[in-house]
Amino acid sequence: MSLSMYDASVPVFVRVLRNLDQVLAKGEAHARDKGADPDTLLQSRLIFDMLPLVRQVQIATDMATRGASRLAGVEPRSVEDNETTFEQLHARIAGAIAHLEGFTPAQFEGSETRAVSFKTRAGELKFDGQGYLLTYVLPNLYFHATTAYNLLRRNGVGIGKTDFLGG
């Protein structure tokens, strides 16, 4: 009657990031087909006061790597938010996936009750591991991956929900 905390997190995060990487690749190809500089797409937004595509991708990768780290009880790594090209964003995603693949199921044993707390701009957030995964990491990860998808979709990129869901 149960699911391991590892299975509910690491492989799911990797899958979301791999699909996001494919969606980005289609965005880049679309811009090239139009004769545009693809990297300008990274600054596009759904509306002026939402974050641009590059930030959606940066946050998605951080959500996944920090989520796995905190569940495993290790200090999240810190990476700079300095990407300005698709190439750099693909490298960031590849780095995040490699980092995620370094975690082992054993590190997640008992993580459903592990105390997780961290500071955000809105103040300190406190969860147990289960609440952190189900009500914070997964909703945020899917939110930013979907927003990246929607942003590209609205720019005319030929992607469909199967690209988002993956094979």
Q: Which spans of this chain sit near its own copies (rule: CB under 8 A)?
A: 1-8, 11-12, 15-16, 46-47, 50, 105, 108-112, 122, 130, 133-136, 138-140, 142-143, 146-147, 149-150, 153-154, 156, 161-162, 164-166
Q: State the residue for tokens 């957030």.
A: 125
**Cβ proximity to its own copies, 46 vs 94, nearer residue:** 46
- Cβ 69 to its own copies, closest distance in Å? 17
**Cβ proximity to its own copies, 25 vs 165, nearer residue:** 165
H or E segment and range at residue 54: helix 53-72
Residues 77, 99 contacting (CB under 8 angstroms): yes
**Cβ proximity to its own copies, 85 vs 134, nearer residue:** 134
Q: In this structure, which amino acid lies at residue 41? A: L
Q: In this structure, which amino acid lies at residue 146? A: T
Residues 6 or more apart whose Cβ sits within 8 Å of residue 112 = 5, 128, 129, 130
- Cβ 133 to its own copies, closest distance in Å? 8
